[in-house]
Structure 1
Amino acid sequence: EEPGAGIGDVPLTPIMRWFLERGGPVDGFNQSRLVQVPASLRLPDLTAALGALLEHHDALRARLTDGSERRLEIRGPGAVEAGSVVRRVDAAGLDDDTLQDLVRGETVAARERLDLGAGRVVQSVWFDRGDSRPGLLLLIVHHLVVDGVSWRILVPDLAEAHRAVVAGRPVELQPVGTSLRRWAQRLTEVAGDPARTAEADWWRSVLRPADPLLGRRPLDTARDTYASARHLTLTLPVAVTERLLTRVPAVFRAEVNDVLLAAFALAWARRGGGRGAGVLLDLEGHGREEELVGGADLSRTVGWFTSLHPVRVDAGPTDLADAFAGGPAAGAVVKRVKEQLREVPEKGIGYGLVRHLNPRTAPGFAGLPTPQVAFNYLGRFTTAGVENAGSEAVPDWTVLATASGVGGTDPRVALAHPLELNARTNDGPRGPELSATWSWAGGILDEDEVRELAELWFRALEALADHAENPEAGGLTVSDVSLSLLDQSEIELLEDEWRNL
């Protein structure tokens, strides 16, 4: 891009419009990370490193304009003074409980300092534990300008900037390819393409068959806020997680998401007694589908790029007992759900374009049913527990946790779904562990209902991992065979013949 191309007004992307259309307060909507920092950290060095981050990544200098046509405005370098986004707190000598209380209080205060209109989208708090113990650094960024992939850029860049400052050399971070502004402009242009417009009917057909009401009543955005939300987090053992991430996708030529959603379809079917036509989900993706815009490179771009699209996953006519025992029925469900996901055009990126950015197609979505359940697999993250901070196993600049459980979420923000599942793999000292956090509207669902589904999902995941150990497990599906004129049964018949040769 030409110099300065990332500066100026940014058209709102589909996910930004989706968020703002929900209404309610917006300033406290954020993502956060708690990072171990060196015991030798000094406030001037940290401030200088944060300043380099603010200068390098355009989105951190954003503000949201007012008016009927709201836009994100990216201001030029120097618009945000680094000293205004960092705060030092003395945490020396505190025991774990007292430190946790301190982090909670400072997290709430940092969240309250966020202000989209004023351009305060970044805040940080350094918990200084003295010269002999590594400290903690809370980084909190408004979600409108950051996503899960962005943190893989921001934390290493901050560490690199700090090393350069301490060494007395210029901070030289890796260049950014395509700016957030240019990407948003191109999305708006692409949304009007005839090929994209033609997708609208397909997406409407996905939404039309409404699912039965989940829980006691429909979602009420005035009553069902984060303040009333309930949460449950379960962790899958390392031994099962390792197989889910490696062997199961390998034998089925599948992605991790295919496996996780196949297990979800099984759990949903068992929950409903084997009745129904699956479940309509809002499925989140990273949204960085660079091929949509020729020549785009978002590998180093900070921003909220997430895509959100509806998809129906259905275990189909299945012997649930056999599937949960890791039998052949388990494999059949993986193949079935894998193909259901492959039917989605271009991993769903087009839904947001026709639903939010194309003025000719957007009205056609008014009044259609919306998914009651959201599913998001965030990927793998190198992390450690806060309790491990300062140990030899945890190097400095390791992400320890998010602050969402200690006041990071604005309680006034409306829930988007009655039920949401956010899963991630934490690569910690014990190995990879799948962590699943279920969030739900307390006025709609009870914990017993959610816990039952959560445990069924983990049982289904274990069943898929066990099934994949069978030498005859896996195989091709229709989408694996280029220009295939074969259906699934014909592919499996050929595979049986090849095994017997």
Structure 2
Amino acid sequence: SFRTWAARLHAEARTRTDELSLWTRILEGNAQGPDSGGSGSGVRLDPAVDTFGTQGHLTLDLPPEVTEPLLTGVPAAFHGRVNDVLLAGLALAVTRCTGRESVLIDLEGHGREEVFPGVDLSRTVGWFTTMYPVRLDAGPADWSDLSGPTAGRAIKRVKEQLRAIPDNGIGYGLLRHLDPDASARLGAYPVPELAFNYLGRVDAATGTDWSPAAEADAAGGGHAPGLALPHALEVNALTRDTPEGPRLRATWSWAGRLYTEEQVRALAEAWFTALTGLSSHTGGGLTPSDLLVPISQEEIDAFAAELDAEWSAR
């Protein structure tokens, strides 16, 4: 039951105190987000002013020929997940637009993590969302050739940065909300300006099992206009299977006081430009989290290069 799950989470929070140093390291330097001026001005949300009633929205779609490899071939080539590729592109875009080396993002997850032996949530009704901060550094980028070495380097780096987060980030919420001492420390940090959520893949046709209702787009999120915004900028992405093929649809929402539509559109288009480059990357490879022995990415790449050279010589 949801009640049993909640009780187990309270007990689990007391066992997660060793993660506190990880979360504080991630949160330090919060000014490195995509602030409204792109200059680290530190402008923050005002809950009395920045409400859902002042929020702007922009929705863009990626065509099927770009979306399909982003969901299938590219993640598989890197032994990764769709989020590894999408977030690598987002980190590249924020770096491009702000000039910073890293970006701090609040990442939303499904929350149904397998952290308790013998616990099965497959028949439990409830909203199990987790929200946790990640700091991503995609490395240097050549924007004239995003499908080349830039793509491989960015995806590998971001993949490893995400894998360094234990249990898909569920520990952050446990410490932030259920442990008094940790809550005081983590609560002292400002909320990351940018939030990202990939909602998965659905059939765009109506009338099929588990397809969105016809009125889903019109219904929106159902937020009261006076409710305070949780983030200055949010990206909610969803893949819709259409007769022409899968299309990635991204909706950007922002605090009207802190951003203009032109600023958000520039960042959104930079993200799609980065994803288009990543989608045509023909490489791949292993990263340290794929292996059972301690080894660096440089050692993995060097070993792969030796194997390629030996194979080519035959």
Report the TM-score, using the length of structure 2 for normalisation.
0.91
Matched, 1:226 2:40: no
- Segments of 5+ residues of structure 2 without an aligned counterpart are 38-42
User: 1:396 deviation in Å?
Assistant: 7.5
Task: Write the distance in 1 (CA, Å) between the matches of 2:191 and 2:101.
Answer: 16
**1:375–1:421 contact (8 Å) kept in structure 2:** yes
Task: Write the distance in 2 (CA, Å) between the matches of 1:181 and 1:201.
Answer: 29
Which of the numbers 329, 332, 350 marks the counterpart of 2:171? 350
Matched, 1:276 2:86: no
Correspondence for 1:198? 18
Task: Write the distance in 1 (CA, Å) between the matches of 2:94 and 2:227.
Answer: 28
**1:383–1:427 contact (8 Å) kept in structure 2:** yes
Encode CA deviations 1:55-107: one digit per residue, 9 max, x unaligned.
xxxxxxxxxxxxxxxxxxxxxxxxxxxxxxxxxxxxxxxxxxxxxxxxxxxxx
**2:176–2:187 contact (8 Å) kept in structure 1:** no
Task: Write the distance in 2 (CA, Å) between the matches of 1:414 and 1:247.
Answer: 40
The amino acid that maps onto 2:113 is E
Aligned length: 303
**1:206–1:310 contact (8 Å) kept in structure 2:** yes
Matched, 1:293 2:116: yes
User: 1:336 deviation in Å?
Assistant: 0.8
Identity %: 52
The SS at the match of 2:159 is helix
The CA RMSD over aligned residues, in Å, is 1.8
Correspondence for 1:210? 30
User: 1:284 deviation in Å?
Assistant: 0.4
Correspondence for 1:340? 161
Which of the pair has more CA radius of gyration? 1
Task: Write the distance in 1 (CA, Å) between the matches of 2:92 and 2:271.
Answer: 8
Matched, 1:383 2:209: no
Correspondence for 2:40? none
Q: How does 1:236-315 map to 2 (within 5 A)?
A: 236-272=62-98, 275-290=99-114, 292-315=115-138
Which of the numbers 226, 238, 246 marks the counterpart of 1:432? 246
Correspondence for 2:300? 491
User: 1:335 deviation in Å?
Assistant: 0.6
Which of the numbers 192, 195, 203 marks the counterpart of 1:374? 195
Task: Write the distance in 1 (CA, Å) between the matches of 2:249 and 2:55.
Answer: 19
**1:211–1:279 contact (8 Å) kept in structure 2:** no
Distance 1:289 1:402, change over 3 A: farther
**1:208–1:369 contact (8 Å) kept in structure 2:** no
The amino acid that maps onto 2:185 is G
- Segments of 5+ residues of structure 1 without an aligned counterpart are 1-178
Task: Write the distance in 2 (CA, Å) between the matches of 1:287 and 1:396.
Answer: 23
The amino acid that maps onto 1:279 is V
Distance 1:401 1:339, change over 3 A: farther
**1:287–1:306 contact (8 Å) kept in structure 2:** yes
User: 1:397 deviation in Å?
Assistant: 7.0
Encode CA deviations 1:396-418: one digit per residue, 9 max, x unaligned.
87423564644633212211111
Task: Write the distance in 2 (CA, Å) between the matches of 1:219 and 1:360.
Answer: 25
Q: How does 1:469-480 map to 2 (within 5 A)?
A: 470=282, 473-480=283-290
The SS at the match of 2:70 is helix
The SS at the match of 1:379 is strand
